[in-house]
Amino acid sequence: MIIIKTEHEIEKMQKAADLLIAVHKALREKIVPGVTTMELDRFVEKFITDRGGHPEQKGYQGYPYSICASVNDEICHGFPTDTPLREGDLLTVDMVVNIGGYLADSAWSYAVGEVSEETKKLMDVTKECLYRGIEKVRPGARLGDIGNAIQSHAEANGFSVVRDFVGHGIGKNMHEDPQVLHYGKPDRGLRLQEGMVFTIEPMINAGDWPIRMDKNGWTARTKDGSLSCQYEHTLAVTRDGVVVLTEQGE
C-alpha cells in the first residue's frame, strides 16, 4: 500500500533530509586515503546523534552499523571495516536519518584521492542517471519512465544497471511501497501522484549487472569484479513536479 504524505509530513521529512545533507557534506573532508570506513561510521553516528537525529540503519533487521560503506566492486550494503581506504578507491556511503519518527535516505559516491578516468566516467554517468530519472517525476508519469531514462543513459555509455536492488517509498518506515526499478520501458507501471515520497538510487556497474553476495548476508558485489557506483535521493511528488528533499547543492 502506498502511503500518501501530507505537506506537513513532507516538511518533517525535510528536517531529516537537512541533517542527512549536512552529514554528507561533512564527509567530503573526511574521505581521504588512509581513513577507515569504521572511522567514518563512528563519525557519522556522532554527527547525527549530536544534532538530535538517529542513524536509522543501525539495528535495522540486525544491521550493525550507522552507514553502509561500499568500496570499489561492492554494490551496496558494504560493512565498515578497519582497512584504510587507498588512493583511487571508489566509496559509496549510504545512510538513513530519523528525526521525530520521519526518515530521509541518501547514498553518495566519493572519489578517494585521485581516481582513474574510468572511475570518473562511471561516477559522472551514475549521477546523470539519477537526475535523468528525477526529471521524469511528476503527477501522471509512470514508474517505467524513470527506469527507462536511467537504463537508456547507462547502457548508452557502456555501463549496466543492477537489477536486484530498487528504490522505494519512504516516510515513517525505511521501506514502503512503491518499488522503483532503475530499468524498464516507458509508459509502463504505476502512475505517480502528488504526495508520493520515494527514493531513486541507481546502482551502475562498469561491467555486467549480475551480483554475488558476501557471507555476511548483506553486502552485494559485482559478479565480474567490476566497479560499481551509486547515487540516491529522497524526493516528493508535488502538484507541479518534484522536490528533491536530499539535494546537496554546492
Backbone angles phi, psi at 94, to 5 degrees: -120, 135
Instruction: Tell me: is residue 201 an annotated ligand-binding position.
Output: yes
Please answer whether residues 183 and 148 qualify as being in contact, where contact means their C-beta atoms are separated by less than 8 angstroms: yes
- Is 153 annotated to bind a ligand? Reply is no
> What is the number of other CB atoms lying within 10 angstroms of the CB of residue 178?
17
Specify the CATH number for the domain of residue 230: 3.90.230.10
**Residue 229: CB partners within 8 Å, gap ≥ 6?**
90, 92, 109, 122, 123, 126, 203, 204, 205
Q: Does the pTM exceed 0.85?
A: yes
In contact, 206 and 227? CB cutoff 8 Å: yes
Determine the pLDDT at residue 249.
Answer: 79
Domain span holding position 83: 7-244
Of the candidates 246, 206, 250, the one whose C-alpha atom is nearest the C-alpha of residue 229 is: 206
Residue 94 in any domain: the answer is yes
233 is in an annotated binding site: no
Phi first, then psi, for residue 176 (nearest 5°) are -125, 175
Tens digit of pLDDT per residue, the chain (250 long)?
999 999 999 999 999 999 999 999 999 999 999 999 999 999 999 999 999 999 999 999 999 999 999 999 999 999 999 999 999 999 999 999 999 999 999 999 999 999 999 999 999 999 999 999 999 999 999 999 999 999 999 999 999 999 999 999 999 999 999 999 999 999 999 999 999 999 999 999 999 999 999 999 999 999 999 999 999 999 999 999 999 999 997 6
Grid cell at residue 74: 561492492
Residue matched to cell numbers 530519472:
133
Residue 11 has phi, psi (to 5 degrees) of -60, -40
* Residue 152 CA from chain centroid, whole number: 19
Annotated binding residue at 24? no
Planar angle of CA 45, 50, 6, nearest 5 degrees: 90
Domain assignment present for 165? yes
Predicted local confidence at residue 187, as pLDDT: 96
pLDDT of residue 250: 64
Q: Does residue 2 lie in a domain region? A: no
Is 168 annotated to bind a ligand? Reply is yes
Domain-located, residue 45: yes
Contact 172, 13 (CB under 8 A): no
Residue 250 lies in a domain: no
Residue 217 in any domain: the answer is: yes
How many domains does the chain fold into? 1
Verify cis geometry, omega within 30 degrees of 0, for the bond prior to 178.
yes
What value does the CA radius of gyration of the chain take, rounded to a whole number of Å?
17
94: annotated binding-site residue?
yes
- Would residue 249 count as lying in a domain? no
